[in-house]
Amino acid sequence: MKFRVERDVLSEAVAWVVRGLSSRPPVPVLAGVLLTADPEGTLTFSAYDYEVSATVTVEAEVAEGGQVLVLGRLLADIARNLPTKPVEVSTDGAKVSLTCGSSRFALIQMPVADYPQLPAQAETSGSVPGDAFTQAVNQVSIAADRGDTLPILTGVRVQIDGERITMLATDRYRLAQRELTWSPGSPEADHVCLIPARTLSETAKSLGASAAVELSLGAAGRGDGLVGFEAGRRRTTTRLLDGEYPKVTSIFPSSVDSVAVVDTQSFIEAVRRVALVAERNTPVRLRFTDGQLAIEAGTGDDAQGSEAVEATLEGPEIEIAFNPQFLLDGLGVLGQPYTRLSFTQPSRPAVISGQAELDGDADDSYRYVLMPVRFAG
């Protein structure tokens, strides 16, 4: 095998495929990146750990086609630090020779025959705009569980019904749901799958800059347990989580007693400041009155902080307390100038959504349900 490629192209491609590789893989060959040079002038980089696969194809001057397997992270480190000159790569016995200017490296070849077969990409099910996909995943994945107690809650439930995608995640203390439209391959598209939240977030970050992200959900009932994402010449698959996601949509309150609207940025900054005195597991208290929201933390002999911001209120005055980080997580991904908070009573979940104008309508495409925290008094 022998090819020549630009240094930035090599560095970017290798960095993308190795981003999910484990530093301590169960099988040594899984630490490798598979390089496939095609005499037609393309170079494909592939990585796979039995859970997630990543493939990217780039242009290259290929003098001799072939395949080699080398340590992924080592290749990424070398490529990132090379001078900005063309890189020449060729096989040399049991080594892979890499030359860039006066820099020369010899990498050990790993056995290609031992490398697992990468999963085949299913037929494209439809596409979604890259920016909308990234925003939706960011908004929902914050609510996914980060522990191992209930593995099914570490996933994002993705439901597709025609032109509508509904993403949902919960860790039992908060629930996030986002609805968005996409362009399905079939108007009768109907899928439900559970995607690991961490993998979905990383995929959205790495592919979201593209104009469109194509989704491959496989044939219903085929049982391959994979979902695929593709943008440009980058393609990734991930294994789905097994199990039945709990029916949590009943958490959304059926009626609302009080509705408050606050400037989102002012709200975030005030909560962040007041929360500085909130020790671990200490809530921030929110007191809504007509025209004002008072934010407080700390009681008695503890450090205390308070701040007031402007707010509008419809309905009875209410005082409620939340975990400050959970509250900031939701506010930080709203993506709207104003925050609408809907309450029933201080002991019941509150619904946070956004709106474009102070007196405008709520944007219910994203809803963040937050469980309150009990507080003294």
The model's confidence at residue 298, banded by pLDDT at 50, 70 and 90, is confident
Domain span including residue 60 = 2-114
For the chain, the domain total comes to 3
What is the reported pLDDT for 116? 94
The model's confidence at residue 217, banded by pLDDT at 50, 70 and 90, is confident
Whether 24 has a pLDDT exceeding 90, the answer reads no
C-alpha distances (whole Å) from 361 to each of 254, 258, 311, 365 are 18, 15, 16, 12
Whether 273 has a pLDDT exceeding 70, the answer reads yes
277-306: average pLDDT: 90
Contact between 119 and 222 (Cβ < 8 Å): no
Whether 114 has a pLDDT exceeding 90, the answer reads yes
Please, what is the average pLDDT of the chain?
93
In a domain, 377, yes or no: no
The model's confidence at residue 22, banded by pLDDT at 50, 70 and 90, is confident
C-alpha distances (whole Å) from 197 to each of 138, 147, 155, 239, 334 are 10, 12, 5, 12, 18
Helix (H, G, I), strand (E, B) or coil at 301: coil
279-289: average pLDDT: 90
Residues 163, 222 share a domain? yes
Last residue of a domain, one of 81, 114, 147: 114
The pTM of the full predicted model, rounded to 2 decimals, is: 0.90
In a domain, 121, yes or no: no
The model's confidence at residue 285, banded by pLDDT at 50, 70 and 90, is very high
Last residue of a domain, one of 83, 114, 145: 114
What is the reported pLDDT for 201? 95
Residues 232, 135 share a domain? yes
Closest CA to 217 of 192, 245, 243: 192
Domain with 89 in it: what CATH number?
3.10.150.10
Percent helix, strand and coil across the chain, each to the nearest 5: 20, 45, 35
Q: How far apart are CA 101 and CA 116, in angstroms?
A: 34
Tokens 């919960």, residue located: 170
